[in-house]
Structures are given as C-alpha cells and as structure tokens.
C-alpha cells in the first residue's frame, strides 16, 4: 500500500479515515492509510451504513497542536462542526479530551514528523491516518507545509485595534484603494493591519495582523513579542530563525539573550509569510527592488515557471533573500460543499511544545 495523493482542497474523507478506520478495523497499524480509501474498505456500504455498525459509539478525540494559519478557537470550532456532522446522522457521539490517549489523536508535522512516514512538502500528500494499535495507532497527521484556510483564502484574526478578535476582510478598501492582504500603509510604526469590514473609509474598523513584533505563539515566553536582536549560541539574530530546530518552525527569543534566559516563542505566520526560497518563511517586504525595478506586489518576473515570488528584504538585488508567495491554501473544513454523512475535516499546523534544540542547548 502506498500513501494516497489527495487533490488539494478535496479532503472529503479524513473523518471517515479517522472514525471508521479507528473503530471498524481491529488490527494494529502498520502504515498510514490513504484518505478516502483505506485497507479493509471493501464493502459497498455507505459511510452512514458503516458508522451505524460501529461498536465504539463514543469515540474520543484530542487535538495535539494548532496551526499558526488559524487561531486555536477557529480550529476547535472547525473540528467540532465536522464531528457534529457525523453525530447528527449516526449513533456516534464524539467527546473531546485534553490529556491522555484518545481514539482519534490529531497532529501536524513536516517531512519526517516522528511516525516513519514523512510528508512531501507543499502540495501532494495532505494527510494520513493509522488504524488502531500501539504507538501511532489511531493517529491522524496533517502536512504542516500546507496552508490551511476556511475556504476563502488566508484567515487572519486581528489583535488590538478597535476590532480585537474579529477577522480581516479581504479585500478591503482604504483611501479608495483595495488591499488583498495586511498592510502597513498609513502607519509610521511598520505594524501590519487590516480592516475587518470591506470599507474602512466608511466603517473605520481595524486590527493588527499577528506578527512577531506583537506576540509569539507557544514556547515559554508567555506570548511576549520577539526581542530583536537576540543572541543564540553566540550568534546575533535580527529576525525569526529556524536555527537549532529540525522541524522548520520559525522562532525567536523573547529576551535579548536566549543563551542566558532560555525564553522563546514561535513566530506567527503572517498573511504574507513566504514558502520555500531561502528566507525561512519570513514575510514579503513591499516594495522591493528586483533588477533595478520596484515591485509593490508578488511577481513572476525572472522565473520561467510562472510561480509568484517576492523579496523578504527591500532589495533582492542587494540581499538575494526571497520566497514564494502564499496561495489560497487548502480548506480546513469545506462544510458548505458536502452533505452528511460524507463530512470533511482538516487541520493545520503542529506547534512544537519543545524549545529550539541544539547540541549546546540543554533539553
């Protein structure tokens, strides 16, 4: 059996793989199952008919980690609604636990993520699930190199401003111009912001987009913003880094000296965080100069494959730092496109609970 290659945005079977595979099959997991079709699924029965026959009608679930693409409340709600689709049409009654082993353990990772079946980077394989058994048995893993959304492009919950906790509205109108991502236009402090209604000129509702200058996620820095520059293993860093980690997550120290204080947090993904390239996910900087020309948005110039990219400094010509621009992403839970009992589910990124690891850093 090989890993299934699932079309982007078509996660029509993760719950089936999670629930039916976790309860109907009684053998130990040996390899991750394909999504939609999995070993033992040879009966012509529908998902609903299969679910009715399950012996474990009160499966438990546990979310191990959260994505920086979506805030935790949005992720919780998406999974709750996904499980409810099943509960509405079958005897299954899902319950969520926050500690210990659950029937359905949900996690995210990049490439080799601890189960022996690595993901393949952005696009391609989106997720895999395991049949019940010891170790990873019953687990479901999602590729953290994907960008997960609610089906309408990137989802950004703002901080502070006069609309704290609301979502950015893209595009939005500011001073007669439409913006499709967070911007620092109109501000002198460089903070990225967005409108939470279409017409900022009329409504004046706004908030700040998550950024390491405002806050960090996870770690042990209590959400404090990054402190730049900071020192790590004797080297000075002026931006978030993946140094010291093997999972590719960007982090920073929340004090000026990580070597001394051991305080850190993960840098939130922004609406313009890049993918690939050589900038470790750093956001685009606009305008940027490429071959002497200023660019106000992502461009495909200089490439033969048509892919959109940007510089992560104000001058690619000087610094040669770049990344691919994010696309519209993979939908977290396209509930509006499907009817029960064939629900969909997804999730995003696993924020590692561990600090940056390196030989010179204590565990």
Q: Which residues contact 348 (CB under 8 A, 6 or more apart)?
A: 66, 67, 68, 69, 70, 75, 108, 142, 144, 146, 147, 148, 332
| Binding-site residue ranges for Zn(2+) | 113, 115, 128, 141
Q: How many helices (H) and strands (E) are present in the chain, helices listed first?
A: 7, 19
Task: Give me Rg for the CA atoms of the chain.
Answer: 22
The residue with tokens 């913006």 is 179
Q: Looking at residue 161, what DSSP letter applies?
A: T
Torsion sign across C-alpha atoms 277, 278, 280, 281: negative
Pair 346, 331: CB distance under 8 Å: yes
Count CB neighbours of 93 within 10 A.
11
| Binding-site residue ranges for Ca(2+) | 69, 103, 120-121, 125, 137, 139, 143-144, 146
CA dihedral 149, 150, 151, 152 (to 10 degrees): -90
Give Cα 271 to chain centroid, integer Å. 12
Please state, in angstroms and rounded to a whole number, the distance separating the CA atoms of residues 103 and 80: 15
- Helix (H), strand (E) at residue 309: strand 309-311
β-strand pairing of 330-331 with 288-290:
unpaired
CB crowding 12-30: b at 16 or more within 10 Å, else e: bbbbbbbbbbbbbbeeebe
| Binding-site residue ranges | 69, 103, 113, 115, 120-121, 125, 128, 137, 139, 141, 143-144, 146
């Amino acid at each position: 059996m090989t890993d299934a290659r699932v079309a982007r945005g078509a996660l029509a079977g993760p719950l089936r793989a999670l629930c039916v595979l976790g309860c109907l099959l009684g053998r130990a997991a040996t390899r991750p199952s394909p999504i939609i079709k999995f070993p033992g699924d040879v009966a012509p029965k529908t998902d609903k008919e299969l679910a009715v026959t399950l012996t474990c009608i009160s499966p438990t679930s546990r979310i191990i980690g959260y994505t920086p693409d979506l805030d935790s409340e949005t992720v919780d709600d998406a999974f709750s609604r996904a499980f409810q689709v099943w509960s509405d049409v079958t005897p299954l009654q899902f319950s969520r636990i926050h500690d210990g082993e659950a029937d359905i353990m949900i996690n995210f990772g990049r490439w080799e993520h601890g189960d022996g079946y690595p993901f393949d980077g952005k696009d391609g394989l989106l997720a895999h699930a395991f049949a019940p058994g010891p170790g990873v048995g019953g687990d479901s893993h999602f590729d953290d190199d994907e960008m997960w959304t609610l089906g309408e492009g990137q989802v950004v919950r703002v901080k502070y401003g006069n609309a704290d906790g609301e979502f950015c509205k893209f595009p939005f109108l500011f001073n007669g111009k439409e913006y499709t991502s967070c911007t620092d236009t109109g501000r002198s402090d460089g903070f990225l912001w967005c409108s939470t209604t279409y017409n900022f000129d009329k409504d004046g509702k706004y908030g700040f987009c998550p950024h390491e200058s405002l806050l960090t996620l996870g770690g042990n820095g209590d959400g404090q913003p990054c402190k730049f520059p900071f020192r790590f293993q004797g080297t000075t860093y002026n931006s978030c880094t993946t140094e010291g980690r093997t999972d590719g997550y960007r982090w920073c120290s929340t004090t000026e000296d990580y070597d001394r204080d051991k305080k850190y947090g993960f840098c939130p993904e922004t609406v313009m965080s890049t993918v690939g390239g050589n900038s470790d996910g750093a956001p685009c900087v606009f305008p940027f100069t490429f071959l002497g020309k200023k660019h106000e948005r992502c461009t495909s110039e200089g490439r033969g494959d048509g892919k959109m990219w940007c510089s992560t400094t104000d001058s690619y010509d000087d610094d040669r730092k770049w990344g691919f621009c994010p696309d519209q992403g993979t939908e977290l839970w396209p509930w509006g496109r499907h009817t029960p009992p064939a629900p969909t589910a997804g999730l995003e990124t696993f924020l590692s609970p561990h600090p940056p690891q390196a030989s010179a850093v204590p565990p």
